Every structure is written in C-alpha cells, then in structure tokens.
Amino acid sequence: MEQNGNPEPDEGARRTKIIIVGAGMAGLSAAYHLTKNGVTDYRILEARGHVGGRIVQIPIGSERVELGANWIHGVLGNPVYELAMQHGLVDIVSPPKPHKVVAATEQGKQVPFAMLHEIYEAYLCFLKRCEEYFVSQYLPPEGIDSVGEHIKLEVNLYLDKIKDPAERHMRELLFECLLKRETCISGCDDMNEIDLLEIGSYTELQGGQHSAAERVQFHSRTFEEVMEVIPSENLLTRHPVKLIKWNCNRKSNSEDSDSDDSDRTVIESPSSSRESSCEKTLKRHNVEVICDNGKRFLGDHVICTLPLGVLKHCAGSAFQPALPDYKREAIDRLLFGTVDKILLEYDRPFLHPGITEVLLLWEGDPDGSDDVGKNWYRKIYSFAKITETLILGWISGKEAE
C-alpha cells in the first residue's frame, strides 16, 4: 500500500485497466469482486489515510466503538450480511440480548409501558399507511405532500379521542419522539422533507436489523477479510482525486453532454493477433484521473464511488466533460442530511441493569425561542446502552450540524 502522497520521480501517467475512486465499502466491494473474477489490473485511489470511508472504529476505554455505520439492515439478499456470515463474523447461535425500552419526561417521570407500546404500534401503523401510497391507486388528502404532514394528520385524529389533557399531552410527546427517531433513520432535518408518494419505493431487506455494536470489531474484521483478497499494491491512500476525464476516446468531446454512454456495459473483443505490442502500447486511454498530488492515472474504465455529499460539493468541477444534465439533477435533488452520534462514557454504570434504552420526551423550548444553537440537545430522541458505562445518542438535521 502506498502511503506517501508526494509524486514519485518517475514522472508520467500510470496505466491500468480500471480506476476505482474511493476505498469505502463500495470501492472495496468493486475491487473484491474484480479480483474474485480474475481481474487484478486496477488501482484504488483513496483520499484519506485509511480504508473504509465513513466506517471508522475507535477505542473508548476497553471498548471499540463504531463512529460511522452501526447496523446491518436486513439479512435476506444483503451482501454485507452474507460476507459476514461467510467469514464467521455473525453469531447466529447465541440468542439476542433482551432489549427493554423506557420513556421518561424531563422531570424524570416514566411513561407506563402499556402507553409506550400503544403509541409505538399506532405510529408503525401510520408510517405503514404512508408507504402504501406508492403502490396504491388512491391519492393522499389534498395539501398533504410529505410523510411528516400525513403522520401529523393521523396523530391529531388519534389524539382527538383522548379527553384527559395530561394523557393526551404524554401521548403527543411520544409521537414527537418517534418522529425525531425517524429523521435519524431517513437522514433529514424534518419528516416534512420526505416525499409521501415515494417513501414506499424503499425496499427493506427481510430479517431485521443487526447492530455492529453487538459483535466485536465487526466492521474492521469485515474489511480485513476483504483486504486479504485485494493486492496491497493496488491500493493508494492519500490520493485525493481532483479531476476525472472520461470518454477520452470519443472523436469529439464537444457533443451534447446528454449523449451519455457512462451507463453502457462494455464487452471487449480479444485483441487481434496482427496487432503489434507497440500498437497496443499506443492505444489511447478512455479515462484519465488526476490527483491533488499531481499524479495521473490512465485507464479504460473508471468506477466512481464518491459519497453523495462529496458529489454535491464537487460534481460541477470534478468531471470533464461535465456529467449529463439528468445525473447532475439527480445529485442535486437527492437529500443528504446530517446525522450525528453522541457517545457518553461514565466511570460507573449509568442506566439500570435491566434497561437498554431511554426515550427522551422533551417539552417545548422553555424560553419559546427557536435558537438551535441553544436548544440543539432537545433533538436527541434517546440514549441506548452500548456497555454498562457507555451510552449512545442520535441527533439529526440542523441541530446535528
């Protein structure tokens, strides 16, 4: 693995068949499958000094904690789960640990479990009805365009049946907490940002969620297994990419950028036996990738695995010719919100041994202001136990920023 980001004295571009931009899970997966299928003429260019992208693990006390990805979403048809199973990283014999959730107000009053269960089941029903619009012939009520608006409509109809003001208020706080939880799952600031007619298009893999925190060094072990297959000399870290030139073989790059062949499946014919080695060497490259350190890489194909947030920042300048309009519009329209983790470590156990998560029922802002900088913590919807002395909270949107 090349660690030094400075150009080497052997000036000139390096040639390779395939250039992979990014060594996150997508880039490493591409390299893994190429190698498994007998293709090793590729280079992976990673901007950081480590692989894994936003999947990063750090030690806190005696534990190793995931700062990034924390869950395996679904089992059936999930390549990450299958890879973990293949290498014995998932324990399917031991029964899952019991998960007891409680909800508490700012004053420390605990909500009766029967009420918590009732509201949670009602909320799941409301969310399910939102998802059904994607395949339904019926349209939502007029003026209701977002998931947030539809759920709040259902919540109000539900709460209208509750006559006792205190009971109604407690249920309202529970619904608000679950909506905050949903913003962390969807990666948005507010559920009003989520399109009502499209939320049902998301396909959730069956088999439930599996927490990486329940398995010792799951993600780092997964990367180790993948990296064992990838030749170390094929991975270049500290090589941030500045420019991707693509379709270099086209006769004219001045054609309409919407005439795009970047999605074509290319089937290469074997080289003619009459073609000399010199002619092969002089073949023009189809892509050229230029790094910040001045190094240039020439190849036939490029696999770009840059995160959406990076693409939003640099898609206008990182590609030559420019990406087609429909791809730039897709990048612009896809939402990419901020979701943060908050880890709190204590010298001694903080939560009761029988409790694994506490839902936080915040009242409205005490001073009536919308000062995010002052009241940001009220967006945290819960704290869950990782160990007896380490708890994890989630926060999203403007408050997370």
For 308-317, write each residue's pLDDT tens digit. Answer: 888 998 888 9
* pLDDT higher at 147 or 70: 147
Q: Is the pLDDT of residue 4 over 60?
A: no
What is the spatial order of strands in the sheet that 241-245 belongs to? 14-15, 296-299, 287-291, 241-245, 319-320
Please report, for residues 60, 134, 181, 324, 341, the alpha-carbon distance to residue 190 in angstroms, rounded to integers and kept in the order given: 31, 20, 10, 31, 17
Q: What is the count of structural domains for the chain?
A: 2
Q: What is the pLDDT of residue 301?
A: 95
Consecutive H or E run containing 156:
helix 147-159
pLDDT confidence band for 228 (50 / 70 / 90): confident
Q: Is the pLDDT of residue 396 over 70?
A: yes
Task: Tell whether 133 is covered by a domain.
Answer: yes
Find the DSSP H helices in 233-368. Answer: 277-281, 308-314, 325-333
pLDDT confidence band for 222 (50 / 70 / 90): low
Task: Tell whether 7 is covered by a domain.
Answer: no
pLDDT (tens digit per residue) in 53-73? 887 778 887 777 878 777 777
Residues facing residue 361 across a β-bridge: 105
354 residue type, one letter: G
Same structural domain for residues 235 and 315?
Answer: yes
Task: Tell whether 362 is covered by a domain.
Answer: yes
How many alpha carbons fall within 13 Å on the CB side of residue 203? 5
* pLDDT higher at 371 or 88: 371
Q: Is the pLDDT of residue 277 over 60?
A: no
Q: What is the pLDDT of residue 209?
A: 61
Same structural domain for residues 43 and 114?
Answer: no
Q: What is the pLDDT of residue 67?
A: 81
End position of a domain, from candidates 306, 333, 360: 333
Same structural domain for residues 254 and 357?
Answer: no
Q: Which domain holds residue 43?
A: 14-90+215-333
Four-residue CA torsion sign, 346, 350, 356, 360: negative
Confidence (pTM): 0.77
End position of a domain, from candidates 308, 333, 358: 333
Same structural domain for residues 223 and 173?
Answer: no
Answer whether 101's CB lies under 8 Å from 357's CB.
yes
Contacts for 20 with CB less than 8 Å, ≥ 6 apart? 27, 30, 31, 42, 43, 44, 45, 302, 303, 305
In terms of Cβ atoms closer than 10 Å to its own Cβ (0-12, 13-18, 19+), residue 35 is: middle
Same structural domain for residues 185 and 120?
Answer: yes
Same structural domain for residues 324 and 235?
Answer: yes
Same structural domain for residues 179 and 258?
Answer: no
Q: Is the pLDDT of residue 254 over 80?
A: no
Same structural domain for residues 164 and 20?
Answer: no
pLDDT confidence band for 98 (50 / 70 / 90): confident
Q: What is the pLDDT of residue 54?
A: 80
Q: For the domain that residue 300 is a member of, what is the CATH number?
A: 3.50.50.60
pLDDT confidence band for 333 (50 / 70 / 90): confident
Q: Is the pLDDT of residue 217 over 50?
A: no
Lowest model confidence (mean pLDDT) among 51-65, 213-227, 235-249, 377-391: 213-227
End position of a domain, from candidates 293, 308, 333: 333
Same structural domain for residues 284 and 372?
Answer: no
Encoding tokens for residue 340?
Answer: 């943060």
Alpha-carbon distance of 262 to 260, in angstroms, equals 6
